[in-house]
Amino acid sequence: MSDSNSTANPAPLGLLGFGMTTILLNFHNAGFFPVNSMILGMGIFVGGLAQVFAGVYEWKQGNTFGTAAFSLYGFFWLSFVAMVLLPGSGAEAADAFSKGLYLLVWGIFTGCMYIGTLRITKAHQVIFGSLTILFLLLAIGDFTGNHTITRIAGWEGIFCGGSAFYAAIAQILNEIYGKTVLPMGPVKK
């Protein structure tokens, strides 16, 4: 537990926001149900706002990686929801090619962030490595119109979200117990 003079670790908040929302959206991508208000609500409040808050708190702690990751992925979720909802307000819906470009840009950004995880824990490497693959598979699915690729991406996305969920719970439990309850892999120096 934190003493009264320290700030809590914001990473579990951001990782849970990312992980839970990613799992639920990828149940959709895997073909279990259409995009619905549950996914959009999670995207706004849990994937979006919770991660942006975590990014702000990472900034206050001087963690550039955490600031960029949580803030930008929080805004990813908000932009994703906007992309789904804005056509209802008269904006033209994004076509498959533009959605593919959107996902490709996020995949490139995530691949760059993955390089940063090589100096962090194995858990972070799994999260960012699997997220890079997820974005690229989803982009390929949109570019080609191949729904099988999107379904495969859905299963891969469930794994990715689950890995973020694991890392969040590991950080929470390891802090509470003052020892490694759930390993995250060594930190590279």
Q: For residue 91, what are the CA distances in angstroms to 41, 43, 79? A: 20, 20, 14
Residues 101-114: what's their mean pLDDT? 98
- Reply yes or no on whether the pLDDT at 118 is more than 50: yes
DSSP string of 138-177?
HHHHHHHT-HHHHHHHHHHHHHHHHHHHHHHHHHHHHHHH
Q: What is the pTM of this model?
A: 0.94
pLDDT digits (tens, 9 = 90+) for 147-188: 999 999 999 999 999 999 999 999 999 999 999 999 999 876
Q: Which pLDDT value is given to residue 100?
A: 98
Q: Which pLDDT value is given to residue 5?
A: 58
Question: For the chain, which residues make up each domain, given as ranges?
Answer: 11-177
pLDDT digits (tens, 9 = 90+) for 18-74: 999 999 999 999 999 999 999 999 999 999 999 999 999 999 999 999 999 999 999
pLDDT-derived band of residue 126, with 50, 70 and 90 as boundaries? very high
What class is the 11-177 domain? mainly alpha
- Reply yes or no on whether the pLDDT at 129 is more than 80: yes
- Reply yes or no on whether the pLDDT at 123 is more than 80: yes
Q: For residue 143, what are the CA distances in angstroms to 8, 13, 59, 116, 177? A: 42, 33, 36, 28, 47
Q: Which pLDDT value is given to residue 2?
A: 47
C-alpha–C-alpha distance, residues 183 and 69, integer Å:
22
- What is the CB neighbour count within 10 angstroms for residue 183? 11
